[in-house]
Amino acid sequence: MSTPFKSPQPAPRDGYIPVKNSTLYYREIGQGQPVIILHGGPDFNHDYFLPEMDRLSDTFRLIYYDQRGRGKSVGSVQPEDVTIQTEIEDLEDLRITFQLETVAVLGHSWGGLLAMEYVIRHPGRVSHMILMNTAPASHDDYMLLRQERRKSAPEDIGKLKAISSSDSYEEGDLETDAAYYRIHFRSTLRQPEDLERIVKSLRVSFTKDSIRKARAIEDHLMNETWLSAGYDLLPRLNQLRIPTLVIHGDHDIVPVECASHIALAIPGARFVLLKETGHFSFLESTEEVREEIVDFLYAP
């Protein structure tokens, strides 16, 4: 079913759209079925997807955006005003602005959780959902992630704590921030060049101030979701009737069980486990990811 790869569209289109009390930066490339791409973090922006995800632009219309208060959408947003509800409203405003009756949503890591939250609220607006290296869908699975992380990389945990308690990290120093994520992701990106590629792309267009703001937003969103003892999307996912593809890596920092719980909860979901692949499957298994997505979106 996969279509042959053609050169990506050479000229992306970008700009800003107004949303309630803020503006969102977007980047659009390609033609065809629209796919809104949701970045992870939640304290990053869309830049780490590039250029690998643009390979899909030969077949689809890709719409990336920086979530409220992050990247080029930093604006005058106050961290305490960013909630799951504002995240969902922003995504809905993006869909309306682009005049899309229905749209496919593709969420990576935190973006996977955001995609699930959106689809639960607006199932009639989503044609397909793709969860790529998705974050957990419940408090219990998030705790499983933390437990597995402590067991698999105890030395890294100590080093991360030391960095995160330093003055330079708290100030938002870019080099210290990079050092943190170099340790955080090294177990899931075993090729040094892939690790450097990701680390260097996580803070494109960020400053010290915007890093601190993004971290505060992350804390606020985590308290509302994973750190809340009753947080659990799985029962509501069971009510969905939307074609869903779950792509995960066998070396992901998010345990495979977390992704499989999501795939089992959504009726008819397709679960793909990529071998020798970590948390950034679009980078390590670029062609396999592309083929899976193309086949899924073109499936009858």
Q: Work out the end-to-end distance of the chain between its first and last CA atoms, rounded to an integer number of angstroms.
A: 10
Residue range 263-280, pLDDT digits in tens:
999 999 999 999 999 999
Residue range 115-148, pLDDT digits in tens:
999 999 999 999 999 999 999 999 999 999 999 9
Cα 19 to Cα 98, 115, 251, 274: the distances in Å are 13, 18, 38, 37
Measure the CA–CA gap between 101 and 103, rounded to whole angstroms. 7
pLDDT class of 156 with cuts at 50, 70, 90: confident
Measure the CA–CA gap between 35 and 106, rounded to whole angstroms. 7
Measure the CA–CA gap between 211 and 215, rounded to whole angstroms. 6
Tokens of 174: 């870019």
Measure the CA–CA gap between 235 and 240, rounded to whole angstroms. 10
pLDDT class of 300 with cuts at 50, 70, 90: low
All structural domains of the chain: 13-150+213-298 (3.40.50.1820)
- Whether 63 has a pLDDT exceeding 50, the answer reads yes
Percent of the chain with pLDDT over 90: 89
Q: Which of 77, 70, 83, 15 is nearest to 40 (CA)?
A: 70
Give this prediction's pTM. Answer: 0.94
Mean per-residue pLDDT, 32-47: 96
pLDDT at 9: 52
- Whether 8 has a pLDDT exceeding 50, the answer reads no
Residue range 187-221, pLDDT digits in tens:
999 899 999 999 999 999 899 999 999 999 999 99
- Whether 29 has a pLDDT exceeding 90, the answer reads yes
pLDDT at 5: 47
